[in-house]
Amino acid sequence: MKRRDFDFWIFVTVLLLIALGVSMVYSASSYYASRKFGNKEYFLIRQLIWATVGIIAMLVVSRLDYRRIAQFSPILMLASIVLLILVLIPGIGAYVNGARRWFNFGPFSFQPSEMAKLSIILFFPFSLSKKPDILQSFWKGLVPYLLVIGVVDLLLMRQPHFSATILVTGVAVIILFAAGAKIWHFILLAVPVIPLGIYFVLTEEYRLKRLLAFLDPFKDPTDTGYQIINSLYAIGSGGIFGKGIGQSAQKHLYIPEPHTDFIFSVAAEELGFIGSCTILLLFLVLIWRGIRIAMHAPDMLGSLIAVGITSLISLQVIINVAVVTSSIPATGMPLPFFTYGGSSLAFLLVGMGVLLNISRHCTGKYRLRREKY
């Protein structure tokens, strides 16, 4: 099969998002970094390094056949589970803000949860493409994949990392559904899963506080509702055209660590409604091209990997924007290409490299079908 050039729309869109993201990391973090480290470029330099490494990795991976990459997915999946276990061990995993999610290597850190997301996206399609009809059986087909999800989710909950648990589960379920899993199987599973989710929320104090803050953030404006209130102030004060890059008032420690999960609030304040819509439009272009690649990939493996990568971007954008606009209870969901974080950005760009490689092999013929329900 003749290999084509990769999808130009995705490549340009990713570069634009990275450029905007790095700019917003600098704008959002400069005051905080100056106060904490005495260097307003502290986070900018690190994000630039990771962005450069990620872009190089994306270009290299885009030249590697995705089918060969997928062959290593069982090893990658096993390595991810081992790392998720190791990060929980005191003295190995770093304990930061009440959670063990990171390995620290001097000035840099690594989150194994980011590796686990990519592992699921590669391993599930690789396994499912070997037996295309296996998901028609609940016990022999669907249950083994659910057990893998369960092991990863359990380890993530032990950190605790609730947002990563939601993301891994959501992406995995979408891949399984696209591969032919029956809808009624998921409906059946929802019966015990929903009450279990409610139990986890109600029995963990910090999650219950976030739920109550979502219902009425102004009831406790100096504590549980503080972050979301200042997020809404930032978004509202941006108006139509925004205050201009670097002119945010809420980033001056009103929004705690504004360069992380609430960076979209700072972007909305500085770029306004038009700038915010432009960012969301770029994500829509990326998602559209990802769906198109999934539909026209040459085989089931390529289709499902494209579905997984596109779902990862989609869910993160939807949940992050919903959180900062107080549309759902707060959870630590990063905004792709914007939220500060090296391992997150690097693994995301590796995933985009895989997507670009799949686009090289697209045939123009519709491939992704769900023939059995």
For residues 364 and 319, what is the distance between their CA atoms, to the nearest angstrom?
A: 32
Report in angstroms the alpha-carbon separations of 96 from 90, 135, 174, 204: 12, 40, 31, 18
- Summarize the confidence of residues 8-12 as an average pLDDT: 94
Q: Sign of dihedral through CA atoms 266, 267, 270, 272?
A: negative
Within-domain flag for 372: no
Compare 183 and 97 and report the one with higher pLDDT. Answer: 183
Residue 366: inside a domain? no
Structure tokens at 191: 């019966």
Question: For 346-370, what is the mean pLDDT?
Answer: 82
Instruction: Establish how many alpha carbons lie within 13 A of residue 253's alpha carbon, considering only the half-sphere containing its beta carbon.
Output: 6
Average pLDDT, the chain: 89
* Residues 221-257: tens digit of each pLDDT: 877 788 899 999 999 999 999 999 889 999 887 888 8
290 within some domain: yes
Distance between start and end Cα atoms, the chain? 32
What span, in angstroms and rounded, lies between the C-alpha atoms of 309 and 6? Answer: 16
3-state helix, strand, coil in the chain (%, to 5): 70, 5, 25
Work out how many domains the chain is built from and give that number: 1
| Residue 180 C-beta-side C-alpha neighbours within 13 Å | 18
Task: Please report whether residue 139 resides in a domain.
Answer: yes
Is residue 373 a part of any domain in this protein?
Answer: no
Instruction: Give residue 193's pLDDT.
Output: 76
Query: Can you tell me whether residue 36 is helix, strand or coil?
Result: helix
Looking at residue 112, its pLDDT comes to 92
CA-nearest of 160, 350, 203, 333 to 263 is 333
Q: Is residue 253 part of a domain?
A: yes
Q: Which of 35-39, 145-149, 181-185, 221-225 has the highest mean pLDDT?
A: 145-149
CB 118 within 8 A of CB 162: no
What's the pLDDT at 219? 82
Residue 169 lies in a domain: yes
Asked whether the beta carbons of 69 and 354 are under 8 A apart, the reply is: yes
Which position has the higher pLDDT, 39 or 202?
39
Asked whether residue 365 is domain-assigned, the answer is no
The parent domain of residue 336 ranges over 8-360
